[in-house]
Amino acid sequence: MEVNKQSSKILIVDDNPVNIDFLVELLKEYDARTVLDGFSAIEAVEEEAPDLILLDITMPGMDGFEVCHKIKSSPKTQNIPIIFLTASRDTESIVKAFKVGGSDYISKPYNTEEVLARLQTHLKLKKALELLAHRTLTDELTGLPNRKHFFRDAKRWIAASQKGIHFTLYILSIKEFAYINQQYGYAVGDEVIKAVAIMIKKVLEREYAVARFGGSDFFLLFHGQLVDEVAPSLDILQEKIAKVRLKSNPKLDFGLEMTYSESHESDTEIEQVIKRALSTDI
């Protein structure tokens, strides 16, 4: 797995100008930036999350251990790999570096090949983990978010709804999908599912979240919007899908069944909204 050096953002945190000059020159093919202390490091990470951090342990004010702990305590930045820079080789410091969330450490004085090799290793690992996470949360057939992705995001939608920012949830099901599979085969059924997914992304313009929930079911969630606001868009979607024809089976027509529910401030779980939606036919 190759890593694009120019687009890889590296944050160097060190209060020693000599060390900084060395690392900046060594990493000139990367998108590297520098800060001189722990407080600036926290601000820099919050402003723009880097792909990797090279972090000196010994700094005035806030040492590297505390900086690492703060970065790893935030859900937004906890997955950024941190390589400690240290002149100390004692076991206690090394163990502490890993305990606070460090991914690796590099001893001073620096060995050029070692710095580059360790940095590349952790950038590749981060890229691989991101790819794995994406695949875990993505429906393979349509490329849409999957059920797991939907439930993960639902927590924040419910939290917003409890504060009065409501949403509308639509459950879309392809009509007579079992018959389509039986009559035309599962490959054609997959084509129908992909066609519906493409049309959803093509037709809907309002802010929405979509997920393939499984089988022939899709979930559409319109955040901050109620039924009266989004219903016209769903009517257009139904009309467009009814006109879709597959190249492999131009005589096959298909459509959508829809149910919906608006969120309530009393909802504590997305399952409550789903249950109401399943009992509200359009």
pLDDT band at 225 (very low <50, low <70, confident <90, very high): confident
Q: Which residues of 178-204 are buried (b: 16+ CB within 10 A; e: fewer)?
A: eebbeebeeebbebbbbbbbebbeeeb
pLDDT tops 90 at residue 181: yes
Rounded-to-integer distance, Cα 238 and Cα 222, Å = 17
So what's the pLDDT on residue 1? 66
Helices and strands (DSSP H and E) totals, the chain: 10, 9
In the chain, the domains with their CATH numbers are 9-135 (3.40.50.2300), 147-278 (3.30.70.270)
List the strands of the sheet with 31-35, edge to edge.
31-35, 9-13, 52-56, 82-86, 104-107
pLDDT (mean) for 49-62: 94
Report DSSP state, residue 194. Answer: H
* Mean pLDDT, the chain, whole residue set: 92
So what's the pLDDT on residue 52? 97
pLDDT (mean) for 2-22: 91
Q: pLDDT of 29-43, one tens digit each?
A: 999 999 999 999 999
pLDDT tops 80 at residue 157: yes
Please state whether the predicted TM-score (pTM) of the whole model is above 0.85.
no
Report DSSP state, residue 104. Answer: E
pLDDT (mean) for 127-155: 92
pLDDT band at 282 (very low <50, low <70, confident <90, very high): low
pLDDT tops 60 at residue 72: yes
pLDDT (mean) for 138-154: 94
pLDDT tops 90 at residue 81: yes
So what's the pLDDT on residue 226? 86
Rounded-to-integer distance, Cα 210 and Cα 277, Å = 15
So what's the pLDDT on residue 281? 60
